[in-house]
Structure 1
Amino acid sequence: MSDFTVRPARPEDAPAILALHRKVAAQPGGLARRPDEVTADYVAHAMATAADGGGNLVAVDAGGGVCGELHVERMKVGIFTHVLTDLTVAVDPDWQGRGVGSALFRVLIETARTLTPPVGRIELWTGASNLGAQRLYERLGFRIEGRMIGRGRYPDGHVEDDIVMGLMLD
């Protein structure tokens, strides 16, 4: 039995999601955003776009605290409406390695299979150096589909490629 549960995010989770994303963003390699780029407006926008046909999940510990969050949006152009994209996942550093990220993804995949219109694809990007995330995504069924050369530019000036990964549900 795990010491957390996964459920759909609720509007009242926004402050906890904001705090979680800021904490994760402060960790090297935690998120693509810096802590100062994680704002209440960012969280509100992510929650609103996820609510419009995508998904927004939180992992909640036994005390009710948010220890993980995942949001993904549905593409709006007609030929792409079967695609969930722009996925972000954040797991509290104190909870990493305890199955929170895997659980969030499993619930997302299960939920995506029930959405209308049907979802046929979930896609994400991860930094080329984030091998742990790539291994996790591959265990969940995602496949590496490509590489976006020099996509990320860090404050120190170095650039990193992004790895494009996708999961076909059809």
Structure 2
Amino acid sequence: MPDYAIEPARADDAAALLSLYRAVAAIEGGLARGVDEITPDYVGGFLSEALAHGYSLVARLADGSLAGEIHTYPMGPKKFAHVLGELTIAVHPAHQGAGVGRALFRRLMDIVEHERPDILRVELGAQESNARAIAFYESLGFVVEGRMTGRVASVGGGYEADIPMAWLRPAR
């Protein structure tokens, strides 16, 4: 049995999310943003948007600290109201490989599938060099929808493709 609970994030989780995201960004390939880009404004921005219009779920440990977080929300224009995008998941390095990310995704997708029939797509992107993440997303039902050549600046220099992926609600 996991030592964490998957639950909705709260506005007062901002400081814990800042710490979590900085820890994950410190790992090469951990997040698209570098540690210096993980600021209180960045965290406050995605948290307020997710709480107001989308979802932010956390894996909360018994001591109240966070093992992981996932968030997503609609892009804005009404014509995209059936799409959840801007999806980001962060799992603390000490808890990676223990099923936290899968548990966060499963809860999010359970909400979408059973409580949000208006959502037809959930979108995310992965760097082409992150084959592990792409395989993980595919195992959750996401499909590769293309390849955006040269979109992402690589850590070691040069550029690589961003791989757009989506989960599509099955036709009824």
Q: TM-score, normalised by structure 2?
A: 0.93
Q: How many residues of Structure 1 are paired with residues of Structure 2 in the alignment?
A: 169
One-letter amino acid of the structure 1 residue matched with residue 109 of structure 2: I
Matches within 5 A, 1:98-137: 98-113=98-113, 114-115=115-116, 118-137=118-137
- Structure 1 runs, 4 residues or longer, greater than 3 Å off: none
> In the TM superposition, what whole-angstrom CA distance separates every residue of 1:84-133 from its partner, at most 9, and x where no partner exists?
001111000110000000011111111123137x2111000001011111
* Equivalent in the alignment of 1:144: 144
Q: Distance in 2 between matches of 1:76 and 1:37?
A: 23
**Aligned partners of 1:14 and 1:44 also within 8 Å:** yes
Contact persistence 1:75–1:82 (CA under 8 A)? no
RMSD: 1.3
Listed as ranges, the gaps of 5+ residues in structure 2 are: none
2:85 counterpart residue number? 85
Matches within 5 A, 1:1-170: 1-113=1-113, 114-115=115-116, 118-154=118-154, 156-170=156-170
CA distance in 2 between counterparts of 1:136 and 1:156 reads 24
1:14-65 deviations in whole A, cap 9, x for unaligned? 1000000001001000001010100000011001111232110111122221
* Aligned 8 A contact 2:70 2:87 in 1: yes
Identity among equivalent pairs (%): 46
1-structure distance, mates of 2:7, 2:120: 22
Task: Give the Cα separation in 2 of the matches to 1:15 and 1:52.
Answer: 18
Show structure 1 runs of 5+ residues with no match: none
Offset of 1:156 from its aligned partner? 4.2
Q: Is the 8 A contact 2:28 2:155 kept in 1?
A: no
Report the 3-state secondary structure (helix = DSSP H, G, I; strand = E; otherwise coil) of the residue aligned with 2:2: coil
**TM-score, scaled to structure 1:** 0.94
Assess if the C-alpha contact under 8 Å between 2:9 and 2:58 holds in 1.
Answer: yes
Secondary structure at the aligned position of 1:150 is classed as strand
